[in-house]
Amino acid sequence: MVHVEARTLTFKEKRFGFLFLAATWLFCLSTLLLHAQSASLRSPLALKPDDVLPTGNEWISLPDISALDGSLKSFNVISMRDRGLLQVSGEDNSPVLQPYFTAGNKPLAFRNPSWELIEYWIPTARLTVDGMEATLTYCAPAGSRAVFLRLTLTNRRAQPTPVTLGLRASFGMLSRVTYVPVELHGQRTVGQAPWVSPGEAFSFITHDTLFAWSIIHPDSQADITTPPLTSAPASDARRQATLAPGETTEALFVLGVGVEEFSAAHAGRALRELLERNGAEATIEQTAAWLKARTRTTGKADLDLLMNRNFLFTELYAWGKTIDTEQLVGVTSRSPRYYVSAAYWDRDAMLWSFPALLDIDREMARQALEYALTTQLRNAGTHSRFIDGIVLEDGFQLDEAAAPILALAAYVKQTGDLNFLRSHHEALLTLRNRLLSRYDAQSGLYTSLQDPQDEFQPLPFITYDNVLSWRAFRDMATLFKGLDDAAEAQEMTARADKLHAAVLAHCLSTAAPGADGPIFASATDGKEFIFTEMPPGSLMKLPALGFIQETDQAFERTFQWLHSSHYKYSYSDQPYGLPGSYRLVFTTSWSVADHLSLTMGRDQALKVLRASNWDGGIITEGVDAGSAHMDQQGRAFATAAGYLAHAICQMSCTGQPH
């Protein structure tokens, strides 16, 4: 017999027990709080059936995931050889990738699912139909030359059910995209992925393989069809299982890209191996953590959703790496939905997207600025260029010549990175000389051939462009001080002062119909004046540039005139109206952004911002002043997305990036 003696706990033992329990409770609470803080944010979306969702990473863009059924219309990579995008699309306007489900040997109607975004970027669809709960997620991990689709099915029926989770792929066309798609002619094929199984590689061949992509599908089987059985190479990969009531299964499909078959297949293989090691859920969470580190908060959920989606859209669609040279390049947009996609503008990259990069990812901002000051330097100021710096649309634009200077100054101010400045001293001198070459000694102003709307301007002195040049001279004075060049800094300050006086002397006029005093003209030759707005280079920007106070009488009169019936494109009588122009006959995203920085215009800008669905939540060139419906041409505008996201953040952000 074992005898156990009962005794009373001492005070010291009681205290130790209490402290142990308290410590255990605090540990559990802190663990729960840490988990809650690290859990990825999920944001529900309100989408129409014809909306699309973009996602992707620096290597691959998925610009048009259908909100209706989760299919992918096209995907693309950036090609330096082709000076633009290489876009893969399906046969006869069908999707390039079509996920599908069956249950009990019958197709599940996966249509109009509910959508949410994980950390503002990873789209996930969910639908319960015919007793089956289906989900679909597209995830593009940072750094991977591949993306994956995760399909899941949960049996909510009362009996076991055979199911299929599948993905159909179709290689209908390969197009080069710079502004518009141009179909490339060659042989399209499909076959077993080299050295990777199970999977298929799709090739585009002329004298050699010029591009390839793969579908790698662990635990699934596939059938392939080729001409003449079909007009386009295609595959159908699927995983089959029988689910007990309440049981869930998943299927993973990896899309890889490469310059030929081996690189495409092994891009997919590398991601498949990460999925095998870590699991799909952990890989999604790791991607979400990367995204979260590049988000900000305003404290308002609706503004956070719009701002952060567009922050990420500008980082991942206005910038990307070329598949063939692995260089970072900048473009207007990697989405073919934008009508002048895949080309470079100094203004778009350095004035619109770059400030957003500084808000969320300074290392990315440094790389983007490096590209602007090297590859794109020799033709800085020219209307538009290909991604390798070669001229696309010719014509000098003064605002574009000034843009890299403002970006460099903003970067150095925020980071204090004087080593970067020193390494680009020669680039700064080149940009300075380009500005000085436009000087008109008689007026003291600087000339431009084309205006900020990319149109020929017969009158050579554009007010906004000269104010931007004034800002550039002020910024160069600071930069040259950082380079210990006091004489050059003094020269830049003197030029800025002279230009400030010249703008006030020559760009104000009393000739505007209905104006009650002198207002800023948009352009002049010193004798004649044009009174209009140019939203991409707006007079409303003058206070934000520091040129003049918002309370200055000349600026107030200019504001009132542009918002009055005296100006044809004021849209002041429309519920969502802000000044447009003959070139942009709607309320533009630039106007919304610029009015957010003004006390006088902020309420109207916020009204437009919140009323429009934009392009399924992605910023467009503008919206209809009467309905707030998006402009159809300027959809998925990645650089403007950065401009408006930055404006929201400047107005309302709290704290630093996550």
Mean pLDDT value across the chain: 94
Cα distances from 562 to residues 262, 531, 551, in angstroms, run: 59, 9, 16
Residue type, 326: E
Structure tokens at 535: 């939203």
Whether the per-residue pLDDT at 9 is higher than 80: the answer is no
Whether the per-residue pLDDT at 30 is higher than 80: the answer is no
Q: Quick one: which H or E segment has residue 272?
A: helix 261-278
Residues in CB range of 638: below 8 A, 6 or more apart: 313, 314, 317, 318, 331, 332, 333, 334, 335, 338, 353
Contact 86, 211 (CB under 8 A): yes
For 233, phi then psi, to 5°, come to -60, 140
Q: Say which residue the tokens 């006088």 belong to.
A: 600
Structure tokens at 31: 């663990």
Say how far residue 236 (Cα) sits from the centre of its chain: 32
What's the rounded mean pLDDT across residues 624-628? 97
Structure tokens at 381: 């100021």
Q: What is the pTM of this model?
A: 0.93
What's the rounded mean pLDDT across residues 605-630? 97
Q: Say which residue the tokens 């006390």 belong to.
A: 599
Residues linked to residue 223 through DSSP beta bridges, in sequence order: 236
Residues linked to residue 221 through DSSP beta bridges, in sequence order: 238
Cα distances from 583 to residues 172, 348, 450, 456, 531, in angstroms, run: 36, 17, 13, 12, 14
Residue type, 122: I
Beta strands, E only, 217-279: 221-225, 234-243, 248-258
Residue-wise pLDDT tens digits, 208-235? 999 999 999 999 999 998 887 778 999 9
What's the rounded mean pLDDT across residues 116-132? 98
Residue predicted with more confidence, 130 or 36 = 130
Q: Where are the domains of the chain?
A: 42-292, 301-652
Torsion sign over Cα 323, 329, 335, 336? negative
Cα distances from 632 to residues 68, 69, 368, 615, 637, in angstroms, run: 19, 22, 29, 9, 11
Whether the per-residue pLDDT at 34 is higher than 50: the answer is no
pLDDT at 523: 98
Kindly report the CATH class assigned to 42-292.
Answer: mainly beta
pLDDT at 429: 98
Residue-wise pLDDT tens digits, 72-113? 999 999 999 999 999 999 999 899 999 999 999 999 999 999
pLDDT at 2: 32
pLDDT at 27: 46
| Preceding amide of 227 cis, omega within 30 | no
Half-sphere exposure of 465 (CA within 13 A, CB side): 30
Residue type, 342: A
Residue-wise pLDDT tens digits, 43-83? 999 999 999 999 999 999 999 999 999 999 999 999 999 99
pLDDT at 545: 98
Statement: 301-652 belongs to CATH 2.40.30.30: no
- Give the 3-state secondary structure percentages of the chain, helix then strand then coil, rounded to 5: 35, 30, 35
Burial 35-58 (b: 16+ CB within 10 A, else e): eeeeebbebebebeeebbbbbbbb
Distance between CA 34 and CA 616 in Å, rounded? 33
pLDDT at 632: 86
| Preceding amide of 460 cis, omega within 30 | no
Residue-wise pLDDT tens digits, 253-267? 999 999 999 999 999
Angle between helices 425-436 and 463-482 (to 10 degrees): 150
Residues linked to residue 124 through DSSP beta bridges, in sequence order: 116, 137
What's the rounded mean pLDDT across residues 580-607? 97
Residue-wise pLDDT tens digits, 264-297? 999 999 999 999 999 999 999 999 999 999 999 9
Structure tokens at 163: 């199911």
Residue-wise pLDDT tens digits, 129-187? 999 999 999 999 999 999 999 999 999 999 999 999 999 999 999 999 999 999 999 99
Residue-wise pLDDT tens digits, 440-472? 999 999 999 999 999 999 999 999 999 999 999
Whether the per-residue pLDDT at 29 is higher than 70: the answer is no
**DSSP class of 655:** S
Residue-wise pLDDT tens digits, 293-347? 999 999 999 999 999 999 999 999 999 999 999 999 999 999 999 999 999 999 9
Nearest partner of 326 among 267, 405, 407, judged by Cα: 267
How much of the chain, in percent, has pLDDT values that exceed 90?
92
Nearest partner of 533 among 501, 502, 574, 563, judged by Cα: 563
Q: Quick one: which H or E segment has residue 486?
A: helix 486-506
pLDDT at 658: 66
- Coil, helix or strand at residue 520: strand
Q: What angle do CA 498, 502, 508 make, to 5 degrees?
A: 150
pLDDT at 310: 98
pLDDT at 230: 76
Banded pLDDT at 23 (limits 50, 70, 90): very low
